[in-house]
């Protein structure tokens, strides 16, 4: 029997402890040469420790000893932190960033391969670890972090695996600001990589290079694509050692296939590339982290392809002889990884009613059969009953400049209650800002919807999954266009009678900046907000942020100090009316704690209702269970206190 109550008086079906209980992150699926499946788990209950696991007789077995944390800091966002050979697994340990070798037949036998501090006193960081077929060389993207805090140096390097002692990496490729997506052909004779330079990000302007490998290292390297504004992702060698990749082009219209990350094939004899797809969908994703290709070969002539269409993940099989693309049906709307081998397909996937899982299918022609779930990010004990799950619905809405934007709408749902009137709205703002929403089941969203809130998870112009033109709308417009889209979304939902006039907003990182910007630019629209490791002062961010994003604002906002000041929320606090709560990690290398402390101090001085919580030992994004729980408790209590006082 349901009880009639105000939306703000609903008690959530989940406690903050239950939201994060038994949750694990699952990433970087791979397999050994003999077909054993491996992946990395991130465990909040172990303070965010990441560990390699493998599947043995249908059971998950931990590979990494407890004293290690498998995670890399290259570009600070990281990337692929390990690879599996015939007899050894090679991984990066987070605390010292060294590469270690572990015997797969004696998991206690672990030894370092790189020095704690290199000869010149700098710290080495490593990602995209790749062993050659004979397991004599280990290649990787190499980042040198200097003690004088000058910008790190990024290169491609290798070490000799026939030596058992610790050794300095030998640099093979250098000269550009960044490298990523290092790949070897199956015969170990060729390699490729992506590279780019400041002020660009990898989704703005990248180059793809191809080279041969000799006993001396990388030889005969040449650029084969990019460098003129193209964005390239997902380089993949075929079984026949041909190179495929996805690429889009700037300044193209929505009805031009070059506006989207389509798949191309490089033809060495002609020294040219040709498209093998010409679709209006995205066969790529922004390279915040490395190591998640969007297509893999299932035979010499066919590849399975992962793509996004209007933010939703889909699969297709591509016949390269006929250039025929056929959709493959799966019951998942968010797929972050695919792995094809031995007539099997593994997915890291979720849906509106399913949290992220690793699931395995057998490939039978154009059909996936015999699904087996291998791992779950959330135990069944902490899933809501189906009648209480609020599934996100993608909607579009008109913008004031005559275009359209998108977002996922979740309506309040709790079988214990009914309410009259319209619910309050919580706007979710994803990070990036060149990121995207994830339309799969998660208990954070369900916590709020079962607490009586509607959610709008906005895919503002600048988000990924809608083509290059949509993504590039954010250039020079960050802090303006997404704010306008949020305003239009709220007015649209209110005009349709979906929500009340009570609106809260929350977001992390770039989303935290948008929260602060929205609260100061549109003070009449919001009643309360939460900024998680967000940005109040763009000038401070420019001074303190890391190399990877050191010139990001030049293109997203401006290099002009006057414009940076104008777009900085800290300079518009006289307009702020809504209370704000700020969360920050003390070890954040991306948004330095001083950025949040500065905002918190001024809010307090001005007497604006606010709260500041800084978690010791946390970086950019909270990983420790107790801190995730505490943040949700404090955010929820802050929101409800403010909104009830206005009800």
Q: Tens digits of per-residue pLDDT, 141-188?
A: 999 998 877 899 999 999 999 998 899 999 999 999 999 999 999 999
What pLDDT is recorded for position 159?
Answer: 97
3-state secondary structure of 75: coil
Average pLDDT, the chain: 95
What pLDDT is recorded for position 122?
Answer: 83
Residue 120 has pLDDT above 80, yes or no: no
- Please state the rounded mean pLDDT for residues 429-448: 95
What pLDDT is recorded for position 404?
Answer: 97
User: pLDDT tens-digit profile of 1-33?
Assistant: 799 999 999 999 999 999 999 899 999 999 999
Residue 119 has pLDDT above 90, yes or no: no
Q: Is the pTM of this model over 0.75?
A: yes
Residue 459 has pLDDT above 90, yes or no: yes
Rg (CA), the chain: 24
Kindly report each contact of residues 559-565 with a partner whose C-beta sits within 8 Å and lies 24 or more positions away, as own/partner.
Answer: 564/538, 564/539, 565/538, 565/539
Instruction: Give the domain 24-292 fold.
Output: Methylamine Dehydrogenase; Chain H (2.130.10)
Taking 3-state DSSP, the helix, strand and coil percentages for the chain, each rounded to the nearest 5, stand at: 20, 40, 45
User: pLDDT tens-digit profile of 397-424?
Assistant: 999 999 999 999 999 999 999 999 999 9
Residue, of 22 and 327, whose pLDDT is higher? 327
Residue 427 has pLDDT above 80, yes or no: yes
Residue 118 has pLDDT above 90, yes or no: no
- Please state the rounded mean pLDDT for residues 515-533: 96
Residue 98 burial by CB count (10 A; 0-12/13-18/19+): exposed, middle or buried? buried
Instruction: Give the domain 3-16+382-646 fold.
Output: Rossmann fold (3.40.50)
Confidence of residue 568 (pLDDT cuts 50, 70, 90): very high
What pLDDT is recorded for position 273?
Answer: 97
CA–CA separation, 194 and 141 (whole Å): 10
Residue 637 has pLDDT above 90, yes or no: yes
> Which letter does DSSP use for residue 13 in this model?
S
Q: Are 223 and 208 in contact (CB under 8 A)?
A: yes
- Please state the rounded mean pLDDT for residues 355-373: 93
- Please state the rounded mean pLDDT for residues 315-325: 96
Query: Would you state the torsion angle of the CA atoms of residues 621, 334, 297, 329, taken in this order, to the nearest 10 degrees?
Result: 170
In the chain, the percentage of residues whose pLDDT exceeds 70 is: 100
User: pLDDT tens-digit profile of 221-248?
Assistant: 999 999 999 999 999 999 999 999 999 9
Q: Where are the domains of the chain?
A: 3-16+382-646, 24-292, 294-377
- Please state the rounded mean pLDDT for residues 483-494: 98
Confidence of residue 646 (pLDDT cuts 50, 70, 90): confident
Residue 486 burial by CB count (10 A; 0-12/13-18/19+): exposed, middle or buried? buried
CA–CA separation, 598 and 97 (whole Å): 31
- Please state the rounded mean pLDDT for residues 602-624: 93
- Please state the rounded mean pLDDT for residues 361-383: 93
């Amino acid at each position: 029997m349901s009880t009639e109550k105000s939306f703000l008086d609903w008690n959530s079906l989940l406690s903050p402890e239950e939201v994060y209980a038994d949750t694990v992150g699952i990433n970087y699926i791979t397999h050994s040469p003999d077909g054993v499946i491996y992946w990395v788990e991130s465990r909040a209950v172990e303070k965010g420790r990441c560990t390699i696991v493998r599947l043995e007789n249908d059971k998950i077995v931990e590979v990494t000893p407890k004293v290690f944390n498998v995670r890399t800091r290259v570009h600070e966002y990281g990337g692929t932190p390990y690879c599996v050979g015939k007899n050894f697994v090679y991984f990066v340990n987070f605390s010292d960033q060294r590469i270690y070798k572990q015997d797969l037949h004696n998991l206690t036998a672990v030894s370092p391969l790189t020095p704690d501090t290199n000869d010149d006193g700098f710290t080495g960081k490593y990602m995209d670890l790749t062993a050659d077929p004979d397991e004599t060389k280990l290649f990787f993207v190499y980042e040198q972090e200097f003690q004088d805090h000058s910008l790190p140096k990024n290169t491609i390097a290798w070490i000799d695996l026939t030596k058992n002692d610790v050794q300095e990496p030998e640099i093979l490729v250098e000269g550009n600001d960044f490298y990523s997506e290092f790949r070897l052909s199956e015969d170990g004779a060729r390699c490729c990589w992506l590279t780019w330079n400041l002020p660009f990000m990898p989704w703005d302007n990248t180059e793809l290079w191809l080279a041969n490998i000799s006993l001396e290292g990388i030889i005969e390297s040449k650029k084969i694509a990019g460098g003129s504004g193209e964005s390239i992702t997902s380089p993949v060698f075929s079984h026949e050692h041909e190179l495929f990749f996805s690429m889009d082009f700037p300044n193209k219209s929505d009805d031009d296939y070059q506006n989207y990350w389509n798949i191309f094939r490089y033809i060495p004899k002609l020294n040219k590339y040709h498209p093998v797809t010409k679709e209006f969908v995205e066969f790529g994703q922004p390279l915040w982290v490395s190591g998640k290709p969007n297509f893999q070969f299932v035979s010499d002539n066919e590849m399975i392809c992962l793509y996004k269409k209007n933010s939703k993940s889909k699969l297709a099989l591509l016949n390269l002889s006929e250039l025929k693309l056929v959709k493959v049906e799966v019951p998942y709307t968010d797929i972050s990884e695919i792995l094809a081998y031995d007539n099997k397909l593994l997915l890291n996937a979720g849906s509106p009613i399913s949290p992220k899982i690793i699931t395995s299918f057998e490939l039978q022609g154009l059909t996936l059969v015999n699904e087996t779930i291998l791992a779950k990010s959330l135990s069944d004990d902490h899933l809501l009953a189906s009648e209480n799950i609020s599934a996100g619905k993608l909607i579009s809405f008109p913008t004031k400049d005559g275009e359209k934007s998108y977002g996922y709408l979740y309506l309040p749902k709790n079988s214990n209650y009914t309410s009259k009137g319209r619910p309050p709205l919580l706007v979710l703002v994803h990070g990036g800002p060149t990121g995207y929403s994830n339309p799969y089941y998660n208990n954070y969203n369900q916590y709020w919807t079962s607490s009586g809130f509607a959610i709008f998870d906005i895919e503002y112009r600048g988000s990924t999954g809608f083509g290059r033109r949509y993504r590039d709308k954010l250039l020079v417009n960050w802090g303006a266009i997404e704010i306008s889209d949020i305003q239009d979304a709220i007015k649209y939902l209110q005009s349709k009678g979906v929500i009340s006039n009570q609106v809260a907003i929350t977001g992390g990182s770039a989303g935290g900046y948008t929260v602060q910007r929205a609260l100061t630019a549109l003070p009449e629209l919001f009643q309360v907000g939460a900024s998680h490791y967000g940005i109040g002062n763009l000038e401070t961010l420019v001074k303190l942020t890391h190399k990877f994003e050191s010139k990001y604002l030049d293109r997203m906002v401006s290099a002009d100090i006057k414009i940076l000041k104008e777009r900085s929320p800290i300079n518009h606090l006289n307009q702020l009316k809504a209370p704000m709560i700020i969360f920050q990690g003390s070890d954040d290398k991306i948004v330095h704690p001083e950025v949040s402390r500065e905002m918190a101090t001024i809010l307090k001085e001005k007497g604006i209702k606010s709260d500041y919580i800084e978690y010791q030992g946390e970086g950019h994004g909270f990983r420790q269970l107790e801190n995730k729980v505490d943040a949700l408790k404090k955010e929820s209590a802050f929101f409800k206190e403010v909104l009830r006082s206005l009800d």
